[in-house]
Amino acid sequence: MKKFLGYFLSPFATLAFFLVLVIFHPLQWLSLKLGGYQAHKRCVDILNFFLLHTFYILGNRVIFINKQNLPVGRPIIFIANHQSLFDIPPMIYYLRRYHAKFISKIELTKGIPSISFNLKHGGGANIDRKDPRQSITELVKLGTRMKENNWGAMIFPEGTRSQDGRVKPFQSAGVATLLKKCPNALLVPVAITDSWKMIRYGLYPLNTFTPMKWEVLEPIEPGATPVEELVKSAEEKIRAIVDPQHS
């Protein structure tokens, strides 16, 4: 029944999502030119507010839980599992006070209204997976910006999206590079549950009437612990929330 309803509701949700992207593309440009970083960031926050609310056209629900007392004014590395492209708008909007920047594929910096503009000008790292040197350089630059501005970063250490929701092994290289330039960054795991179900049939039809959950978990202080152990700890915290859904 959910799939059946998706055939009727998906065109409306997709159109709304695309219209939001098109409308906010010139607004981002104007905000950046007239108001600089702060105005542009505010525009991006509002953009993602509207994007995540297009999910409700499908009857889907966004449940964002953050019971952690996270510090403002300290760099934070948010470490999350990755289930779909729809993971991102709720994270940007609900974690907006931490100025978290995404680590994205360089291919996404071209051709996508609003999204490409933000990736180019929002302060994140756009990496070429075929060029390790370029990737490391971008991460180093992001780590430097985090340290200088007390910004956050969002990273998906699985490297690719999980198509069935199960957590894949985390890689630690990206986190290690960021911590090398910004050693006082706090590590914060974020467990994403069931966002993959929204696209379980692909982009058409999108799935309907599905609750999706984002949960901010207990922070991890880096200290002198090896990065591999820190990332493994974050993975285990996330896996404890997400993988029981498949048992």
* Cα-Cα end-to-end distance for the chain: 24
Output the CATH code of domain 2-246. Answer: 3.40.1130
Beta-carbon count within 10 A of 188 CB: 25
* pTM, entire model: 0.94
Q: What's the confidence (pLDDT) of residue 246?
A: 53
Residues of the chain whose pLDDT is less than 70?
Answer: 245-247
Rounded to the nearest 10°, the torsion over CA 149, 48, 122, 130 is: 120
Q: What's the confidence (pLDDT) of residue 161?
A: 82
